Structures are given as structure tokens and as C-alpha cells.
Amino acid sequence: MSITKPKVSVVLPIRNAEQRLIGEIERVLEALADVTTGRSELIIVDDGSSDSTPELLDDITTRFPQVRVTRNSKPRGIETAGQTGLEKATGEIVFIQEDNRPVRLEDLRRLYRMADDETIVAARAESTPRPLSGAILRRMKAWGTHAAQQIEDQPASLEPTGLQMIRRPHLQRLSGPLGAHVAMQSEVYDVTSMV
């Protein structure tokens, strides 16, 4: 008897993302195909984009049937857009990007692995990019790699980005009449990785 993996939903709240939208969707769909053999969906919540994002989303939904789109006619805020996506998602495990930046796929993979532990109700990964040290860049150049130059040429935002994972059945239980009687525990893990 084989156990089927739970359906996974990823919620991407976006605003004015025309420059990165198609690449981001393809990256997330490929990552979902890598982490789960089960069904998955990508919920995009367009938070009142004023660029060509809405037109691109129309094209994307015809190309990728697992992508669903919800639109806010006016910007309501990325956090509100994420909540809207959570409400629209049908997966048992829901990932929600917390900001209007690309999903860090290593965070998605790490949270998905954590979802194997059914006692975990929700988890959050926060990543803060840090520039590589000068010593590493010099060593990469000495080896003759082109990676060091590519890293130096890329403008990096050093603001943290966050991704949440919520297990829907537990969330429904916590919001029910007995939810106040469930003991909750929180743990923090500090992980460093290079994508």
C-alpha cells in the first residue's frame, strides 16, 4: 500500500512583478516537481499591479494549469494578499511567501522536509543574504572560476525574506472550539546555506 503525499499549495503575493514573473513561476513549479510527487498548485495573488503583470498572468494560467490567480483591484498590502492566498489554497500543506521577492527554493525544500513531522503545525524560514567574504571571492578568482565575477555583478538585497509553511488540518483544528486547549511549543533553528 503506497501512501500518497499531501497536496501542496504555494502562495505568491506579488505586485508589479512583470520583470521576474515568468521565471519565478517556472522556478517554483520546477521546485515543487522536485520535492513532491503529489499534486500541487501555485496560487498567485496580484496585489493591484499597475504594470503588465495582469496580462502576463492571463497567459501564464493558460500555459500552466496548476497556477491559479486572484487579483486585488487596488493594493491592499502583501500580508493581506498572503492571507487571501491562504484562504484560496486547497493544499494540506501551504507555503506562503511573506514579501514581494523571489522564493528562496532552499527554504521551500527545508520547510517541506519539516512537514514530514506531522506534529509540526506551522514553520517559518527567514533568510538574510550575506555577501561572500573577500577571502572566498579571491580564492574563487584564483581558481579561475567565473562564479566570483557573477556574484560581484549581481546586486543583492540584504533584507531578510520569509516563507511560511502551514499544515491546514492542524490550522482548522486550532481554530475550532477545542483549539484553545492544544499545547503549543516553538523552536528556532539557525541554518546557513548557499543556494
Provide the residue range defining the domain that includes 15. Answer: 8-181
Per-residue pLDDT of the chain (195 residues; tens, 9 = 90+): 445 555 899 999 999 999 999 999 999 999 999 988 888 999 999 999 999 999 999 999 999 999 999 999 999 998 999 999 999 999 999 999 998 888 889 999 999 998 888 888 888 888 776 666 778 777 777 777 665 555 555 445 556 778 999 987 766 666 666 655 555 555 555 544 444
- Here the CATH number for the domain that contains residue 151 is 3.90.550.10
Q: Could you tell me if residue 191 is inside a domain?
A: no
- Indicate whether 195 belongs to any domain: no
What is the residue-wise DSSP string for the chain? -PPPPPPEEEEEEESS-TTTHHHHHHHHHHHHHHH-SS-EEEEEEEES--SSHHHHHHHHHHH-TTEEEEEESS---HHHHHHHHHHH---SEEEEE-SSS---HHHHHHHHHHTTSTT--EEEEEE---PPPHHHHHHHHHTT-SHHHHHHHS----S-EEEEEEEHHHHHHHHSTTGGGS-------------
190 within a domain of the structure (yes/no)? no
Question: Into how many domains does the chain fold?
Answer: 1
By DSSP bridging, strand 8-14 and strand 67-72 are: unpaired
- 0.85 exceeded by the pTM? no
Residue 3 covered by a domain:
no
